[in-house]
């Protein structure tokens, strides 16, 4: 039986850099909504907020963060992640260079109203000719003190080994789609062996309500809803067993796997529920059952369909 956890843990991703295991995701939250949603999350106890250049909501996120700081929260109490959009030459969007990657974090800091972030990520491996230069820029930004830790998102082992082969430092983290239907065990094992922390996004894919709200659809939302509704959900029975929601079961699974998770909601009740992951533990029998549910690579993002950035 896993030890019962009542205090949200932190994950050490670099020397002196401790990532809260439950973060608040902001993908598909508009800039206008972001301030209220992030404020509600901070009020509910979240101390890790995740955004990105391409989400176009850094200003709203920043307003909530700075309001909280003005009300007495210390900057060291909050962990802030943002991501550089690397460009997408295949879609006609110029790839970021070393110089424009540096400029992108400066712009993000301006929108956030901060002098540094805690984690800066390359959002996706879309730019094969520029990936190494972008990574050199992140190393430089860390040296400048504009970010405390650096990492990547949606990178495979091949992409990471490309950075290491260039003689550059390893990423501190890789933010990837992880949930019972996409467990990526081989990649996770590689990350851990290399000293890179996996961070899970799209933890709630197995729910029929995943991205069901208008404007929140992904290319595969309807496919996933049909799959979720076609069979009796084992997560519903687990939720009843533990007296929690299905979302809490899925998020708790990620935490028990040792991942940081990034639930997103604009509903204050769900925001609080999604942070309540430490009053119960998924037992060994259910963890073993979930281990057999893997369906493959995932649905939220793929290099063949880079139209969504979770």
Closest CA to 26 of 62, 54, 51: 51
55 is catalytic: yes
CA distances for 111 relative to 39, 101, 108, 210, angstroms:
17, 15, 5, 29
Q: Which of 27, 46, 55, 201 is catalytic?
A: 55
Task: Tell me which H or E stretch contains 69.
Answer: helix 58-70
Q: Which residue has the tokens 């709203």?
A: 60
- Cβ distance 205 to 220 under 8 Å? no
Q: Beta partners for 12?
A: 18
Tell me the residue ranges of DSSP E strands in 58-144.
79-84, 117-122
- Alpha-carbon gap, residue 170 to 150, rounded angstroms: 9
**Residues forming the active site:** 55
């Amino acid at each position: 039986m896993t030890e019962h956890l009542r205090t949200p843990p932190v994950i050490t991703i670099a020397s002196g850099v401790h990532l809260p295991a439950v973060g608040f995701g902001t993908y598909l939250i508009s800039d206008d909504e972001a301030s209220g949603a992030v404020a509600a999350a901070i009020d509910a106890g979240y101390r890790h907020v995740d955004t990105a250049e391409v989400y176009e909501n850094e200003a709203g996120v920043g307003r909530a963060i700075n309001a909280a700081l003005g009300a007495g929260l210390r900057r060291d109490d909050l962990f802030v992640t943002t991501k550089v959009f690397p460009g997408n030459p295949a879609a006609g969007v110029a790839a970021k260079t070393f110089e424009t990657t540096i400029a992108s974090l400066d712009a993000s800091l301006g929108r956030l109203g901060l002098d540094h972030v805690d984690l800066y990520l390359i959002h996706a491996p879309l730019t094969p000719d520029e990936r190494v230069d972008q990574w050199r820029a992140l190393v430089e930004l860390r040296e400048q003190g504009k970010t405390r830790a650096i990492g990547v998102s949606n990178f495979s082992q091949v992409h990471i080994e490309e950075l290491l082969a260039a003689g550059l430092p390893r990423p501190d983290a890789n933010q990837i789609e992880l949930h019972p239907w996409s467990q990526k065990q081989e990649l996770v094992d590689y990350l851990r062996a290399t000293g890179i922390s996996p961070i899970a996004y799209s933890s709630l894919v197995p729910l029929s309500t995943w991205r069901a709200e208008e404007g929140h659809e992904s290319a595969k939302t309807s496919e996933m809803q049909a799959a979720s509704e076609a069979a009796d959900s084992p997560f519903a029975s687990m939720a009843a067993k533990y007296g929690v929601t299905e979302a809490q079961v899925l998020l708790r699974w990620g935490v028990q796997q040792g991942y940081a998770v990034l639930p997103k909601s604009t509903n204050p009740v769900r925001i609080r529920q999604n942070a309540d992951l430490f009053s119960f533990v998924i037992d060994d029998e259910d963890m073993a059952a979930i281990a057999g549910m893997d369906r493959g690579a995932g649905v939220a993002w793929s290099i063949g369909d880079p139209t969504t950035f979770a």
